[in-house]
Structure 1
Amino acid sequence: MDSIFKAMGDPARRTLLESLRQKNGQTLQELQTQLDMTRFGVMKHLAVLEEAGLIVPRKRGRFKHHYLNVLPLQQAIDRWIDPLIEKTSARAVLNLKTQLETSNMTAPAPDFVMQTFIETTHDALWDALTQGDLAAQYHFACDTVNGDLNAPGDTQAFVLPDGSPMLSFTLNEIDPKSRIEMRFEPHFFGPDAPASRCVYLVEPSGDAMKLSIEHYNVPAGQEGVGEGWARLASALKSFLEVGPARRFGFPQG
């Protein structure tokens, strides 16, 4: 937590974070235009932000893209700010405005990247991501999750308490214990909402597990999925580290 506040204490680093909030996935060259300093100076500030977990780099072809990682900010607000102010105001600050990156690369860059570290076992995290009965215990809005993600073609459907569908994942590819690629169908945007693609990346990190979430080809009008991912990751972390007592649902009213 100290590293987050220290990283945000510098005005140059706040400028970089604000720039990524406005346009996620920028390269070093793009971010350098935001500051009156050398390329090396910008790299040093990006390194501090990366160390604090506030940004996540992703290399695509010759370019490294930088993504605002909203989860540490969400957790800081949940712990230190949320009890003091209206939740709707706090959440509005974290609303991401992502844009599709159109640079010429050998592979497409994600529109959205989030990363978190969870004190749990490899098996426990993998099961929580793939087993519907476990997902139902931590999802921030759905008490029912039908289906498991074990083989390509499997579908996992998230159902709201009133019985209406919220979203569904259809498994495209799976690399056991390390990568899950899915078709993302957001029914909460309407029955005809276009689908996109999302990826879970799972890897050990010391005594913890690192979970990265990547979202590709987010359609126009669906940029708000970033907040949903933050709530899902927060609830998953709480579930695996503490238990299913607390969920991070949308504020009422």
Structure 2
Amino acid sequence: MPLLESLSPLSPILNLALVGLAMLTSVISASVGIGGGTLLIIVMAQVMPATALIPVHGMVQLGSNLGRATLTWRHIDRQVIAAFLPGVVLGALAAAWLLIRLPSGVLELAIAAFVLYSCWGPSLPKGRLGKGATLAAGAVTTLLSSLIGASGPLVAAFVKHSQTTAFARVATFAACMSLQHLTKAFVFGVAGFVFRDWLGLMAAMIAAGLLGTWLGLRLLRGLSDKRFDTLFKWMLTLLALRLLWMGIEELVAS
């Protein structure tokens, strides 16, 4: 108990529950491609201070995605990453200095609409998936990630159109998200967040996430590309519907 108590300002029971949840959500992300990070931030939002939620979640997701990218590095589309990275830098700089936010709920609705179109609408023209579109995707999703915490569904919708196999999608998505979450150390450092108070919990959740990633990748090897594509599409759809509901609630409340 003393060890668990020292992990963060939260109670030992909550610390233990979050470590276990980090492993479970990493299994989900590694085997289905997405969903774990969004589930994790939903639960964390119920028990953590709002000021700590996005930076702590970002560092935990950095560890989880970096581990997944490392284990699947042979499948990463390096051309996509090379074009995505400059956009990540631009998005992080914008997030660090942004003073004006859109009305509550608008971001969630916009992301949900794009993801649903990506899953069920006509295929995007190939010309829109070039370097310019990739850079723009990196900038916009990185900015949104710092504002709402979980931009995974939007990045996954982009990756879905650029990769054709299960392992390529998982690997490229993990690499993109690693770059994105890495910028949060800069963004929230500039904002004055004290990471030191939460280092123990972040380290424990990252370690649990690495174990979950290993287990999830073993499950992924047993899925055919067609079955993976179906699971991936429905996971995206469910997350988009959740964002749609959240956006409507925010707009009604405001």
TM-score (normalised: structure 1): 0.31
Structure whose residues are more often helix by fraction? 2
TM-score (normalised: structure 2): 0.30
Structure whose residues are more often strand by fraction? 1
